[in-house]
Amino acid sequence: MGQEKDSNLSKDSILESSMQKKNIANLGETVNSVYDEYAPIISADGSLMIFTSRRPISEIEIKNQINGRENIFISEYNDMIWKWQKATILEPPINQLNRNNSAIALSNDGQRMLIYRGDRNGNIYESVLEGEVWSEPVKMPEPINSKKHESSASFSPDGRTIYFISNRKNGQGGLDIWMCRANSDGKWGEAENIGQSVNTKENEEGVFMHPDGKTLFFSSKGHNSLGGYDIFKSVFEDNKWSPPANMGDTINTTNDDLFFNLTADGKTGYYSSGREGGLGKKDIYELKINNNNNKTTQGLILFKGVVKDKESLLPIGADIEIVDNEKNEVIATLKSNSASGKFLVSLPAGTNYGITINKKEYLFYSENLNIPKDADYEELRIVISLNKISIGDKMVLKNIFYDYGKANLLPESISELNRLVKLVNLSTDFKIEIASYTDSKSSAEFNLILSLARSQVVLDYLFAAGISRDQVIARGYGEENPIASNDTEEGRKLNRRTEIKILDK
């Protein structure tokens, strides 16, 4: 008797597979056709899907009913009827006639897309959504592209790392997973092979980094697959990749199973498969995951919203900066869409985030999200109304921190203070008041003195940065003008704040 083949399926994955047997479905005719559909990519909230299809679009292809060239299609999820809308083809410059066009990666917010084009060796291009129009795709630089073949890719949540497939030299086998990080100046560093714990002597393909920033999904013909390409998962913890786990025989078949994407909440996965019973040879499938103990989404916050002009209520394309307050380090930059005002960013737990939304001629908006390591998955939705800089406007500086009961600035305040310096420098036609408030826990006299001291220490920082003494003043209001109840700790925390107010010169 021959030896049984080790399928690399753990007891947990076998149990999970049995639980999910009835939760996999073909997406049907709104997405799939009798031709090949594959390489689905999604926004982190699962509202947008872009995929590749070989359905005929030219007159010759349609007349002869033959597989066409690769073209990129898009579908939006209608959450009123819980269905994907009829897919439509993306117009040029995304799809170009007489060549293969394939989308391979989408940023979490759906504003950046990576495209594979069948150049001489096959290369990766990037396009940016500007309002409602995708920009002309630009070929990625040489650290990512090479003289060899680059076929698929994925963004990290902060957009500063790209994971990609290449058969360049010094790999573990044929097609391997590589990664490339952007330096502080935005230039891409050297490409790194992610190592033999994930890559095999066989081919790897269809790489996808989950919005949690540590869970990598990919397909491989190695790792004792069930047949063809199987989908695997590996997690980066303690500075190393975990042994890849086969996603189970619910998803994987003896045919090729590729391009697995998972929504940020961990509830819905999408992938392409050549399994029997589809509309075409390759179709796109949806997997509903009912495992309440899904570790992939633990400690992840999806922060999403819309930026508008406060007066006109029209959407604004604003710059968004995400800062690690403890390190005073910018960890991500993005923009809200100029046509819709929408933005989305995934924030892994265990970090004190400072979030700033800025637009020229407007007061910036700041938010503080201090997410503990053990936080559960959550979606935070917000509508942000920006004020054009005018007399009487005021805003809370949510990322300025002091020791409790003291007036010393904590290091986590530096990034916000530097943003304030920029704002004051751009607002020379106005005078700016730095106003601090307290809760009502201590005496009114103590609170008044403390609040003035806090405003003064902010003022001193501005003076040290070169701000004119004629342009800013400091005032302390103690426990006056509370914005929340002083009967709860959460309310008192909101009342302990520093604001700025625009004054007439």
Does residue 99 contact residue 105 with C-beta atoms inside 8 Å?
Answer: no
- Tokens representing residue 261 in the block: 């994407």
The number of CA neighbours under 13 Å toward the Cβ of 315 is 14
Q: Is the per-residue pLDDT at 293 higher than 60?
A: no
Kindly provide the residue ranges of all beta strands, DSSP E only, lying in 410-496, ordered along the sequence: 430-437, 472-476
How far apart are alpha carbons 470 and 176 in whole angstroms?
Answer: 61
Per DSSP bridges, beta strands 230-237 and 215-220 are: antiparallel
Report yes or no: 442 and 405 within 8 Å, Cβ to Cβ.
yes
Domain 13-293: give its CATH code.
2.120.10.30
Query: What is the arithmetic mean of pLDDT over 318-343?
Result: 93
List the one residue out of 410, 416, 409 whose CA is nearest residue 323. Answer: 416
Write the pLDDT tens digit of every residue in 95-122. Answer: 988 788 899 999 999 999 999 988 788 8
- Give the per-residue pLDDT at 504: 86
Give 480's contacts (C-beta < 8 A, 6+ positions apart). Answer: 437
Q: Quick: pLDDT tens for 42-52.
A: 999 999 999 99
**What band does 67 get if pLDDT is binned at 50, 70 and 90?**
low
Q: Where in the chain is the domain with CATH 2.120.10.30?
A: 13-293
Tell me the residue length of the chain: 505
CATH 3.30.1330.60 in the chain is located at 391-505
Is 503 in contact with 391 (CB distance < 8 Å)? yes
Average pLDDT over residues 246-251: 88
H or E element at residue 502? strand 497-504
Residue whose tokens read 């400072």 = 354
Q: How confident is the model at residue 15 (pLDDT cuts 50, 70, 90)?
A: very low
Mean pLDDT on 442-454: 96
Q: Which stretch of DSSP H or E encloses residue 60?
A: helix 59-64
The whole-model pTM stands at 0.86
Q: Which residue has the higher pLDDT, 406 or 280?
A: 406
Pairing of strands 215-220, 161-166: unpaired
Q: What is the pLDDT of residue 65?
A: 63
Give the whole-number percent of the chain exceeding pLDDT 90: 75
What is the spatial distance between Cα 58 and Cα 328, in angstroms, rounded to a whole number?
A: 53
Q: Is the distance from CB of 215 to CB of 235 less than 8 angstroms?
A: yes
Domain boundaries for CATH 2.60.40.2190 within the chain = 298-388
Asked whether the bond before 93 is cis by omega within 30 degrees of 0, the reply is yes
Average pLDDT, the chain: 90
CB 366 within 8 Å of CB 398: yes
Radius of gyration over alpha carbons of the chain, in Å?
26
pLDDT at position 376 = 87
User: In CATH, what is the architecture of 391-505?
Assistant: 2-Layer Sandwich (3.30)
Question: Chain centroid to CA 335: how far?
Answer: 12
* Res 235 pLDDT > 50: yes
Query: Which of 17-26, 353-362, 374-383 is least confident?
Result: 17-26
- How far apart, in whole angstroms, are the C-alpha atoms of residue 202 and residue 223? 9
Contact between residue 285 and residue 26 where contact means Cβ atoms under 8 Å apart:
yes
Q: Are 168 and 180 in contact (CB under 8 A)?
A: no
Domain boundaries 298-388, corresponding CATH code: 2.60.40.2190
What is the pLDDT at residue 22? 57
Q: How far is CA 97 from CA 68, 92, 298, in A?
A: 11, 9, 44
Concatenating the DSSP letter of every residue in 320-339 gives EEEEETTTTEEEEEEE--TT
